[in-house]
Amino acid sequence: MRKLKNHEQKLLKKVNFFDWKSDKNLRENKILRMYHIEDREDYTKYNKLAGLITKLVAQLRKLKPDDPDRVKMTQILLDKLYSMGLIPNPQSLEDCHKIPSSSFCRRRLAIVLVVNKFVPTVKQAVQYIEQGHFRIGPDLVTNPALHVTRDMQDHLTWAEGSKIKRQVKEFNDQDDDLTSWAIEPASARAP
């Protein structure tokens, strides 16, 4: 390689060719694969949120322990994080001190479906969600990146008219002939 001229050296003074930022994302790629996150921006948002929560907890810790504002803000923060499903119990600020971004990933709809044993794999869960086989309450959900709170988790069910729901009911011998007959088109019914 030829010797760089003076103006070239000045331009490249702050650039390090041996240490690229994109080389340090092995952990990020592993998490994106493990939680089947298709959009990298989602993971960066989770990182930012985790950093903001950590910063807020650090600010709360600077206040006096018996300060009424600190007690009130701490309780609000703990209740919110617990209802979002990010911390296991709303007792202590210690749980929020180093909240990982993967805790946001664990509350995505596809992961919650696997944990609740609706489907065996995350990939299959993403396919079923995109095909419209699940609903939360009365609403059909087609976004696998949806953040599922603890309240929403209780209302997670198969969508009405889902063939997979019918297969599960047949397998468990809970199939009601009347409802399956009403869902089928008239041309498929036996005379």
Average pLDDT of the residues in 171-183: 65
Percent of the chain exceeding pLDDT 90 equals 60
Q: Are 145 and 137 in contact (CB under 8 A)?
A: no
Rounded to the nearest 5 percent, the helix, strand and coil shares of the chain are: 55, 5, 40
Residue 139: which pLDDT band, with cuts at 50, 70 and 90?
A: very high
pLDDT (tens digit per residue) in 59-77: 999 999 899 999 999 999 9
Instruction: Give the pLDDT confidence score for residue 182 in this predicted structure.
Output: 54
> Is residue 185 predicted with pLDDT exceeding 70?
no
Residue 67, SS3 per DSSP: coil
> Is residue 106 predicted with pLDDT exceeding 90?
yes
How many of the other CB atoms lie within 10 Å of CB of 96?
21
Instruction: Give the pLDDT confidence score for residue 180 in this predicted structure.
Output: 53
Please give the residue that has the higher pLDDT: either 20 or 157.
157
| Residue (of 178, 186, 150, 179) closest to 162 by Cα position | 179
86: buried, middle or exposed (CB in 10 Å: 19+, 13-18, 0-12)?
buried
Instruction: Measure Cα distances from 102 to 138, 143, 162 in Å.
Output: 29, 19, 31
Please give the residue that has the higher pLDDT: either 179 or 34.
34
HSE-up of residue 182 (Cα within 13 Å, Cβ side): 7
Residue 176: which pLDDT band, with cuts at 50, 70 and 90?
A: low
- Which amino acid does the sequence have at 98? K
Instruction: Give the pLDDT confidence score for residue 28 in this predicted structure.
Output: 87
Sign of CA dihedral 79, 81, 87, 93: negative
